[in-house]
């Protein structure tokens, strides 16, 4: 039996290798009937696999960048709030202050790493897709003041060469009766590090530092960078959606068909088994595991056990739209039997 299954897998693999895009329906139907793990392995030979992997890496990298820079700015904001009463500067709290500083260093390390990775992943996608206007939009979004190069250079210093130790400052305006706190990097220390180490492109990093204040405010730097990066990647992500290669579109179609088939098979086996129970599990005892409070409230306003209610539950839960007519009919029968059993 195992040898027969292996032969079938290899037959499907060979057929896929020889096929053109879009994959013929018969090959796709043979593919989706395989174990999903085997189907995914065979799909590695699909012409759209490589670009799909690059797309997914870019999407993941973008999400990590957004989380990392948000965490960095939140950590800096928390520090600025904590130090506003200046008691954090007392000797008795120096351990706490050091911990906060290390926390910001950690977030700085993570954010600059995420930025560097995002640059690499977006470039790899661009090499495969060649979005028109990419270079022009990069220049427009990030500008020519050296901020982008400074952030990338900062990552190089943090990762490979030396730890640039951040500091902080408190500024008082006695006339206005206010004070502001900020987390900073020394411009002179940065210049020395750039001069001594292999930071590239050195000229643009130096140009940024020449225009920077004596203490480089990290919040201002990364708020500005996040704004620029958001503008660029919103544009790039949108362009990727409207310039999707045919191989990628077909790969995602095949992958979805395989997942949907496996999902339907599992749900049909599960629901079909419940229907054969003398007293099936009550579905209303489990809805809160799949529905939000608002969704659950909307569901319960419909007639209990009606097709309308069951259809609405399926609509909410089946985000991939995998449910077919046969599975829907099984769901109707299951709700009907489960409710009848619950009333006895």
259 and 229, same structural domain?
A: no
212 and 329, same structural domain?
A: no
pLDDT for res 174: 40
Six token digits for residue 321: 């739209």
Low-confidence residues in the chain, pLDDT < 50 = 172-174, 176-178
Flag whether 115 is in a domain: yes
From the CB of residue 183, how many other CB atoms can be counted at a distance below 10 Å?
25
- Bridge partners (DSSP) of residue 183 are 168
Flag whether 205 is in a domain: yes
Flag whether 13 is in a domain: no
Flag whether 83 is in a domain: yes
76 and 186, same structural domain?
A: yes
Domain span at residue 166 reads 49-242
Are the CB atoms for 36 and 265 separated by under 8 Å?
A: no
Decide the pairing of beta strands 167-173 and 178-186: antiparallel
Flag whether 5 is in a domain: no
Give the predicted TM-score (pTM) of the model.
0.87
Q: Give the 3-state secondary structure of residue 197.
A: coil
Report how far residue 140's alpha carbon sits from residue 110's, in angstroms, rounded to the nearest whole number.
26
Flag whether 17 is in a domain: no
pLDDT for res 169: 60
Are the CB atoms for 88 and 168 separated by under 8 Å?
A: no
Last-in-domain residue among 215, 242, 269 = 242
Nearest to 79 by CA among 65, 66, 61, 93: 93
Report how far residue 68's alpha carbon sits from residue 112's, in angstroms, rounded to the nearest whole number.
9
228 and 90, same structural domain?
A: yes
Number of domains making up the chain? 2
Last-in-domain residue among 190, 215, 242 = 242
Report how far residue 308's alpha carbon sits from residue 305's, in angstroms, rounded to the nearest whole number.
8
């Amino acid at each position: 039996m195992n040898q027969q299954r292996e032969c079938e897998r290899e037959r499907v693999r060979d057929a896929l290798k020889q096929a053109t895009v879009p994959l013929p329906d018969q090959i796709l139907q043979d593919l989706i009937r395989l174990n999903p793990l085997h189907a995914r392995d065979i799909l590695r030979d699909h012409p759209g696999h490589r670009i799909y992997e690059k797309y997914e890496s870019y999407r993941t990298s973008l999400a990590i960048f957004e989380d990392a820079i948000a965490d960095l700015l939140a950590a800096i904001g928390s520090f600025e709030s904590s130090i506003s009463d200046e008691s954090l500067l007392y000797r008795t709290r120096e351990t706490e202050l050091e911990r906060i500083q290390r926390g910001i260093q950690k977030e700085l390390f993570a954010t600059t790493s995420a930025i560097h990775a995002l640059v690499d992943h977006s470039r790899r996608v661009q090499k495969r897709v060649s979005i028109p206007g990419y270079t022009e939009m990069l220049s427009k979004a990030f500008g020519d003041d050296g901020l982008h190069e400074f952030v990338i250079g900062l990552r190089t210093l943090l990762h490979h060469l030396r730890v640039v130790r951040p500091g902080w400052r408190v500024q008082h305006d006695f006339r206005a009766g206010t004070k502001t706190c900020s987390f900073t990097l020394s411009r002179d220390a940065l210049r020395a590090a750039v001069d001594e180490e292999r930071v590239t492109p050195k000229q643009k990093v130096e140009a940024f530092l020449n225009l920077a204040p004596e203490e480089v405010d990290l919040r201002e730097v990364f708020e500005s960078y996040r704004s620029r990066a958001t503008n660029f990647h919103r544009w790039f992500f949108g362009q990727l959606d409207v310039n999707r290669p045919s191989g990628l579109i077909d790969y995602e179609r095949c992958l979805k068909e395989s997942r949907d088939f496996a999902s339907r098979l599992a749900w049909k086996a599960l629901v079909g088994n419940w229907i054969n129970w003398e007293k099936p599990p009550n579905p209303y005892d489990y809805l809160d595991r799949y529905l939000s409070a608002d969704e659950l409230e909307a569901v319960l306003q419909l007639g209990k056990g009606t097709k309308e209610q069951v259809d609405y539950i399926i609509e909410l839960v089946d985000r991939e739209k995998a449910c077919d007519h046969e599975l829907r009919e099984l769901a109707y029968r299951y709700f009907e039997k489960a409710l009848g059993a619950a009333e006895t």
